Every structure is written in C-alpha cells, then in structure tokens.
Amino acid sequence: MSLISTLARLDAVESGRAQPLATVRHRHLADRPLVLVPLTTAGEAGAPLGALVGDDPAAPRLLVVAQPRDRDLRFAFLADLAEAVVPHLDGYADDVEPAERSETDPETGKKVKVEVELCADAPQVIVPSRAGVEYVRLLGRSTRFRRTAEDDPDTPYPAPVRVPLLGRWLTHYGERARVPGSSLLLAATDLLNRHWATGQSSLEDQHLGALLAWIEAG
C-alpha cells in the first residue's frame, strides 16, 4: 500500500466516508456486460443456492436451487444458467472482422499468411467480488467435462448439451481473469477499490455492500 493510499484510508476513517484515490482508471467496461451474482452454500464447495444473471438491470433472471443436495435440482440449475449465459456469449460471434495472421504450413513447414475472422468485441462478465471470480473458475472445472446423452447414451445423470459448453466458457473466463489487464471477467469490488479508499480492512472491502455503503456516504 502506498503512502497516498494509507493517508486516504486515514482520512476515510476520520470522515466516515470513502476518499477518492483517482479520477481515471484505464479499465475497459462494456456497454452491456453480463452480470452474474452467485450464491453458494457455506459447507459444500461449489454447491449453488441460486444466482442472479442478466445484462439488463431492469430484467435480471433469478435462478434458485431449493435443495442444493438434490442432484437433479443442481443439474436443472446448471442447465438454466447455461441457457442464460451461453446465448449471450455466442451473440458476439456474429460481429466479426477480417484479419491476417501467420501460420505454419504443415506440408512445407514455412510461415504463410492466412485470412481469418476475428470477433470485433468480446462479451464481458462482471461478478460482485473476487470470491465470485473464484466461483466462476470452480464452476467451470466442475461442469466442462460433464457427459451428455449425446456423448454417451448410457451415462448416469446425463447433463444438458449446453452445460459442458458453459463449463468451457467459464474456465476460459476464469483463466483470463489471472492475466493482468484482462477485462473479460471483472470483480466489481476490485474496480471500486481502484477508485476509492475506505476506513475498513482489505478483506472487508471485498464485501460489495459494505464498500458501496462507504462510497455512498460521501
């Protein structure tokens, strides 16, 4: 923590409201990001209780698992989550632009120019805190290898077709979140902490509600 940040935190403690740390932060924010607010059980890792998901603040979709220990209900939740997330991500595949890149010719072994299509933009996902980022990564690992009825008709508890695809997407987003400067998967608390210093600890700053209370007090 820098001296300026420490001073700002002391000012926040004295005044009872968050103090600005900067006026501009170079972090990309999409016009309509997909917001995912997961809720999990405290005991079993990765067991979902529900989620709020959507790209329209006026019409989010609420998904609920009435009994997290029920395998069928958990699979139904994952299927509903996939139905909400995957079409949003796939929608960006329609807006492409031509580009050139070098590839190795398998016959000659030489570098050749090939024409490819690149997406003009990438879908952005925002979660409340770093715990949400970790849950996205965990959910991706637990769903990307799920067997479907198409993969194996005899598999017990087959997953819907979109669930493994959801897992692969979430794994990709979770791994990209480790890359400095990546804006595919962002935690709202990290974005706000870049702008504001509060009078609470760094751990407490990862609670979005508490962080917003400090900011709105000003």
Which residue ranges make up each domain of the chain? 28-92+122-216
What pTM, to 2 d.p., does this model score?
Answer: 0.84
What gap in Å lies between CA 79 and CA 85, rounded to an integer? 10
Q: What pLDDT does residue 127 have?
A: 97
What gap in Å lies between CA 54 and CA 80, rounded to an integer? 12
Q: What pLDDT does residue 210 have?
A: 94
pLDDT in tens, the chain (218 residues): 688 888 999 999 999 999 999 888 778 889 899 999 999 887 766 688 999 999 999 999 999 999 888 888 888 999 999 999 999 999 888 888 888 888 888 888 888 888 887 888 889 999 999 999 999 999 999 899 888 877 778 777 778 888 999 999 999 999 999 999 899 999 999 999 999 999 999 999 999 999 999 999 76
Question: 């926040």: which residue's tokens?
Answer: 12
What gap in Å lies between CA 21 and CA 132, rounded to an integer? 24
H/E run at residue 48: strand 48-54
Q: What pLDDT does residue 45 have?
A: 66
H/E run at residue 116: strand 111-119
**Contact predicate 205/211, CB 8 Å:** yes
Q: What pLDDT does residue 110 have?
A: 85
CA 146 vs CA 36, 71, 77, 150: distances in Å: 22, 13, 14, 11
Q: What pLDDT does residue 137 have?
A: 94
